Amino acid sequence: CPAPSDLRPANGTRLCALLYKDNSPYYDQCCAGDVLEVEPGSDVPYMPRGWSGTVSSLVVGTRCELVVWSRRAKKGKSRKFSA
């Protein structure tokens, strides 16, 4: 998985988080497969099509916080992730 300080796409802008679909019991193979990029200041009450319930790994960048909810539209229990 990339280090939290390394979250920058090809164009050089900063990202707050990367969410990955593929899962593995081996740590060095966890951050693989399709990637969902979360930009700073994003407010997304619904996961994009095909992503709901499929995230297996995530990396949160420095100076960022990712809040997720157990139900759609920011309902249910929430959990915060940071670098």
- Which long-range contacts link 17-21 to residues 24+ away (Cβ below 8 Å)? 17/58, 17/59, 17/60, 17/61, 17/64, 17/66, 17/81, 18/58, 18/59, 19/51, 19/55, 19/57, 19/58, 20/55, 20/56, 20/57, 20/58, 21/51, 21/54, 21/55, 21/56
Task: For the chain, 83 residues long, give each residue's pLDDT as a single digit of tens.
Answer: 888 988 876 677 789 999 998 777 777 778 888 999 999 999 988 888 888 888 888 999 988 999 999 888 899 999 999 98
Predicted pLDDT of residue 78: 95
Instruction: Give me the pLDDT at residue 13, please.
Output: 79
What pLDDT does 10 receive? 66
